[in-house]
Amino acid sequence: MLYPELFKQLESVRWDMDKDIPWASFDPVKLSDEQAATIKMNAITEWAALPATEMFLRDNRGDSDFSAFMSIWFFEEQKHSLVLMEYLRRYRPDMVPTEEELHNVRFEFDPAPVLETLMLHFCGEIRLNHWYRRASEWHTEPVIKTIYTKLSQDEARHGGAYLRYMKRAIQNFGDEAKAAFAKVGVLMASARRTAQALHPTNLHVNKALFPRDTIQSRMPNPEWLEHWLDKQINFDAVWETKVVERILHNMSLLMDRSFSTVQELNKYRKELARELADSITPAVSPRPV
- Give the C-alpha separation, 67 to 61, whole Å: 7
* Helix boundaries (H) for 139-236: 142-173, 175-188, 224-227
Say what the pLDDT of residue 200 is.
82
- The answer to whether domain 2-275 has CATH 3.40.190.10 is no
Q: Where does residue 111 fall: left (phi above 0), alpha (psi -120 to 50 degrees), or beta otherwise?
A: beta
N-term to C-term CA, the chain: 55
**For each of the chain's 289 residues, which pLDDT tens digit applies?**
999 999 999 999 999 999 999 999 999 999 999 999 999 999 999 999 999 999 999 999 999 999 999 999 999 999 999 999 999 999 999 999 999 999 999 999 999 999 999 999 999 999 999 999 999 999 999 999 999 999 999 999 999 999 999 999 999 999 999 999 999 999 888 866 555 666 788 888 899 999 999 999 999 999 999 999 999 999 998 999 999 999 999 999 999 999 999 999 999 999 998 888 887 755 444 554 4
In degrees rounded to 5, what are phi and psi of residue 102? -70, -45
- Give the C-alpha separation, 253 to 272, whole Å: 17
The answer to whether the beta carbons of residues 212 and 260 sit under 8 Å apart is no
Predicted TM-score (pTM) of this structure: 0.92
The answer to whether the beta carbons of residues 4 and 69 sit under 8 Å apart is no
Say what the pLDDT of residue 282 is.
57
Q: Which residues have CB under 8 Å from 205's CB, separation 6+? A: 55, 109, 110, 112, 213, 214
51: closest CA among 69, 72, 77, 80? 77
* Residue 74, burial from CB neighbour count under 10 angstroms (0-12, 13-18, 19+): middle
| Helices 237-255 and 175-188, axial angle in degrees (round to 10) | 170
The answer to whether the beta carbons of residues 188 and 199 sit under 8 Å apart is no
Say what the pLDDT of residue 289 is.
42
Cα 182 to Cα 4, 119, 159, 163, 278: the distances in Å are 28, 9, 16, 13, 18
- Give the C-alpha separation, 212 to 204, whole Å: 8
Q: Indicate the DSSP class of residue 68.
A: H
Q: Which residues have CB under 8 Å from 84's CB, separation 6+? A: 39, 40, 42, 43, 46, 147
Q: Decide: helix, strand or coil at residue 262.
A: helix
